[in-house]
Amino acid sequence: MKNQRDKLHQYQRRITVLTDRETEIARQMLVKGDKRKAKLALRRKKYQESLLAKTDAQLEQLEILTRSVEFALVQKDVIYGLQQGTSVLETIHKEIGGIQHVEKLMGDTTEAITYQKEISEMLSDQMTCQDEDEVDDELGVLEAEISGLSFPAVPNTRILELERSKKILLKEENEENVMAIMT
Q: For 55-95, write each residue's pLDDT tens digit.
A: 889 889 988 998 999 999 999 999 999 999 999 988 888 88
**Residue 45, C-beta contacts closer than 8 angstroms, at least 6 positions apart:** 18, 19, 22, 23, 26
Contact 97, 33 (CB under 8 A): no
Q: pTM value?
A: 0.41
Q: How far is CA 12 from CA 8, 49, 51, in A?
A: 6, 10, 9
Q: Is the pLDDT of residue 25 over 80?
A: yes
Local confidence band at 172 (pLDDT 50, 70, 90 cut-offs): confident
